[in-house]
């Protein structure tokens, strides 16, 4: 199908898109999105879709929240830009910092702002290097991450990411990092292995990796509480407790990348609460502003802050920061967005609607294409497989998922396929009726996909 309109033509002629097959885009043209309303978005032709992925896992409050528009406009009119370098600040950055310290677990007492999740993880890497230089242990610089994990795409954060398309042809990883096994029992547990035994094996692997590298060289372990962009992979029970114990044993910092899970996604304010994680560093973005403005935040313990602060005094400065760090419009929008999440109890709604979503999806358990249905709260995935009993993946992997992704549009649904896993992560404002409608559209697409896969 060729889509012809002036925006599409301009775009095709001039725009190199991220995460896009450029030649396919040239051939087919982009889908031009025009407006949003609650959980719905409409394209230029007026076709309406349920945004089952909340944009990029991020629009908590829906696509037309006027309070965020007003917060941005007011701040634009008052002080559209100011920085937070060299002993300057402004109201929105200071108030949001205070709010985040109040909201996140008590032991996290300071925040550093960036514009994106990738920049935040890049900054985490640099702050930890800075910290360990400050503490007189310059060799403690290596990271442990997971295959299948996603932490961004900059040179350093992209190195932590454990997905092949983020490394291949980009000459990554470019920093010292070891990737350990994906915590996903469906594909990676051995036959007959209990969840507990699988979790123990994964923790043992992390310990062995630390010992192999030398604990004096390993700085930190980074993980999403549940892996999002890598396929919505829920870790086995007890995983985080075991991983945490290994990190403590070897003085390895634990970083919870809550860029997707932060602000209610799993039915609690943070997935660290859901999974019982006590991170040294927590990374937040996306739902912090519902992505109405680019913003990310790095939360850290007092111990980390104190060492960094001392070193900044020794050197005369902390030589790191972006022009947009703590941007007044972004932080003003963040404050208002968090106020809405709290006032409307969207965390409670995520917990309640999450139950509806998971039980509606469970109705497809016997479908011939459905291997696993997984998720927590308002994030879920349905794993499509070629053979249910042997858990055999499609060959080539991703072809069936790509068909599903395209066909879902015809049923008024936008989801994400991660290879052959179909991911859901709708806005937190979704109602029960809308969850059921979203899953009904999923069901129609699944029937079309069955015909395609056979
Ligand atoms: N960390 C996680 C867990 C993410 O899901 C993402 C983006 O999807 C990032 C980091 C990178 O964020 P950004 O795309 O804002 O750079």
Name 174's bridge partners: none
Q: What is the mean pLDDT of residues 315-327?
A: 98
Which residue bears the tokens 């994964």? 202
Asked if 207 contacts 245 with a C-beta cutoff of 8 angstroms, the reply is no
pLDDT digits (tens, 9 = 90+) for 15-27: 999 999 999 999 9
Asked if 158 contacts 167 with a C-beta cutoff of 8 angstroms, the reply is yes
**What is the 381 CA–ligand 1 centroid distance (Å)?**
18
The verdict on the CB of residue 117 being under 6 Å from ligand 1 is yes
Ligand 1 atom closest to the CA of 224, numbered from 1: 3
Alpha-carbon span 115 to 327, nearest angstrom: 8
**What is the 425 CA–ligand 1 centroid distance (Å)?**
14
Give the residue whose CA is nearest to atom 3 of ligand 1. 259
* pLDDT, mean over the chain: 97
Give the residue whose CA is nearest to atom 10 of ligand 1. 151
Q: What is the mean pLDDT of residues 315-330?
A: 98
Q: How many CB atoms lie within 10 A of CB 115?
A: 19
Ligand 1 atom closest to the CA of 286, numbered from 1: 15
For residue 454, what pLDDT band results from cuts at 50, 70 and 90?
A: confident
Ligand 1 atom closest to the CA of 152, numbered from 1: 11
Q: What is the mean pLDDT of residues 38-46?
A: 97
The verdict on the CB of residue 116 being under 6 Å from ligand 1 is yes
pLDDT digits (tens, 9 = 90+) for 379-424: 999 999 999 999 999 999 999 999 999 999 999 999 999 999 999 9
The verdict on the CB of residue 291 being under 6 Å from ligand 1 is no
The verdict on the CB of residue 223 being under 6 Å from ligand 1 is no
The verdict on the CB of residue 224 being under 6 Å from ligand 1 is yes
Give the residue whose CA is nearest to atom 13 of ligand 1. 117
The verdict on the CB of residue 293 being under 6 Å from ligand 1 is no
The verdict on the CB of residue 244 being under 6 Å from ligand 1 is no
**What is the 84 CA–ligand 1 centroid distance (Å)?**
23
Query: Does pLDDT of 3 surpass 60?
Result: no
Select from 142, 129, 119, 69 the least CA-distant residue to 259: 119
Burial of 48 (0-12, 13-18, 19+ CB in 10 A): exposed
pLDDT digits (tens, 9 = 90+) for 199-215: 999 999 999 999 999 99
**What is the 315 CA–ligand 1 centroid distance (Å)?**
31
Residue-level length of the chain:
454
Pocket probe for ligand 1: among 285, 289, 322, the residue whose CB has the most ligand atoms within 8 Å is: 285
Alpha-carbon span 94 to 289, nearest angstrom: 16
**What is the 259 CA–ligand 1 centroid distance (Å)?**
6
pLDDT digits (tens, 9 = 90+) for 26-37: 999 999 999 999
Kindly state the percentage of the chain with pLDDT values over 70: 99
Could you tell me the pTM of the whole model?
0.98
The verdict on the CB of residue 301 being under 6 Å from ligand 1 is no
**Positive or negative torsion for Cα 425, 429, 430, 432:** positive
Asked if 258 contacts 223 with a C-beta cutoff of 8 angstroms, the reply is no
Kindly state the percentage of the chain with pLDDT values over 90: 98
Three-state secondary structure of the chain: CCCCCHHHHHHHHHCCCCCCCHHHHHHHCCCCEEEEECCEEEECCCCEEEECCHHHHCCCCCCCCHHHHHHHHHHHHHCCCCCCCCCCCCHHHHHHHHHHHHHCCCCEEEEEEECCHHHHHHHHHHHHHHHHHHCCCCCCCEEEEECCCCCCCCCCHHHHCCCHHHHCCCCCCCCCEEEECCCCHHHHCCCCCCHHHHHHHHHHHHHHHHHHHCHHHEEEEEECCCECCCCCECCCCCHHHHHHHHHHHCCCEEEEECCCCCCCCCCCCCHHHHHCCCCCEEEECHHHCCCCCCCEEEEEEHHHHHHHHHHHHHHCCCCCCCCCCCCHHHHHHHHHHHHHHHHCCHHHHHHHHHHHHHHHHHCCCCCCCEEEEEEECCEEEEEECCECCCCECCCCCCHHHHHHHHHHHHCCEECEEECCEEEECCCCCCCHHHHHHHHHHHHHHHHHHHHHHC
Asked if 286 contacts 259 with a C-beta cutoff of 8 angstroms, the reply is yes
**What is the 190 CA–ligand 1 centroid distance (Å)?**
30
**What is the 450 CA–ligand 1 centroid distance (Å)?**
32
Query: Does pLDDT of 425 surpass 50?
Result: yes
**What is the 296 CA–ligand 1 centroid distance (Å)?**
9
Alpha-carbon span 319 to 257, nearest angstrom: 23
pLDDT digits (tens, 9 = 90+) for 139-153: 999 999 999 999 999
Give me 417's structure tokens: 């396929």
Alpha-carbon span 323 to 447, nearest angstrom: 49
Distances from the Cα of 361 to the Cα of 178, 198, 271, angstroms: 35, 26, 21
Q: What pLDDT is attached to residue 4?
A: 52
Q: What pLDDT is attached to residue 1?
A: 47
The verdict on the CB of residue 449 being under 6 Å from ligand 1 is no
> ipTM of the assembly?
1.00
Give the residue whose CA is nearest to atom 1 of ligand 1. 151
pLDDT digits (tens, 9 = 90+) for 47-98: 999 999 999 999 999 999 999 999 999 999 999 999 999 999 999 999 999 9
Pocket probe for ligand 1: among 122, 260, 263, the residue whose CB has the most ligand atoms within 8 Å is: 260
Asked if 131 contacts 138 with a C-beta cutoff of 8 angstroms, the reply is no
């Amino acid at each position: 199908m060729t889509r012809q309109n002036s925006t599409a033509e301009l775009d095709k002629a001039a725009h190199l898109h991220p995460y896009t097959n450029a030649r396919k885009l040239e051939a087919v043209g982009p889908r031009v999105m025009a407006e949003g309303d609650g959980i719905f978005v409409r394209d230029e032709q007026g076709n309406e879709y349920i945004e089952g992925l909340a944009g990029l896992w991020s629009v908590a409050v829906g696509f037309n929240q006027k309070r965020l528009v007003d917060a941005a406009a007011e701040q634009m009119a008052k002080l559209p830009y100011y920085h937070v370098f060299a002993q300057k600040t402004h109201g929105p950055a200071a108030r949001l910092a205070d709010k985040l310290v109040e909201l996140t677990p008590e032991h996290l007492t300071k925040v550093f702002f960036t514009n994106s999740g990738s920049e935040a993880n890049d900054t985490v890497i640099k702050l930890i290097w800075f910290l360990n230089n400050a503490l007189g242990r310059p060799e403690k610089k290596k990271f442990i991450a997971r295959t299948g994990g996603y932490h961004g795409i900059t040179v350093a954060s992209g190195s932590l990411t454990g997905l092949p398309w983020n490394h291949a042809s980009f000459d990554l990883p470019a920093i010292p990092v070891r990737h350990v096994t994906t915590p996903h029992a469906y594909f990676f547990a051995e036959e007959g292995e209990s969840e507990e035994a699988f979790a123990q094996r994964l923790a043992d692997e992390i310990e062995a990796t630390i010992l192999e590298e030398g604990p004096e060289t390993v700085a930190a372990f980074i993980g999403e509480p549940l892996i999002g962009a890598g396929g919505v992979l829920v870790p086995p029970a007890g995983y985080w407790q075991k991983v945490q114990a290994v990190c403590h044993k070897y003085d390895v910092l634990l970083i919870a990348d809550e860029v997707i899970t932060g602000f209610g996604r799993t039915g609690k304010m943070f997935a660290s609460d859901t999974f019982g994680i006590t991170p040294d560093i927590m990374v937040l973005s996306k739902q912090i502003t519902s992505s109405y403005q680019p913003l990310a935040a790095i939360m850290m313990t007092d111990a980390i802050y104190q060492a960094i602060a001392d070193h900044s005094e020794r050197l005369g400065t902390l030589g790191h920061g972006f022009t947009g760090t703590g941007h007044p419009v972004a932080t003003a929008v963040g404050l208002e967005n968090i106020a809405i999440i709290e006032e409307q109890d969207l965390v409670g709604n995520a917990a309640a609607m999450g139950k509806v979503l998971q039980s509606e999806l469970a109705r497809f358990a016997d479908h011939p294409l459905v291997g696993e249905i997984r998720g927590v709260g308002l994030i879920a995935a349905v794993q499509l497989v070629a053979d249910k009993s042997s858990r055999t993946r499609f060959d080539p992997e991703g072809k069936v998922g790509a068909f599903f992704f395209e066909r879902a549009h015809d049923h008024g649904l936008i989801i994400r396929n991660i290879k052959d896993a179909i991911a859901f992560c709708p806005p937190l404002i979704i109602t029960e009726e809308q969850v059921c409608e979203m899953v009904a559209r999923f069901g129609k697409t699944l029937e079309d996909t069955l015909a395609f896969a056979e």
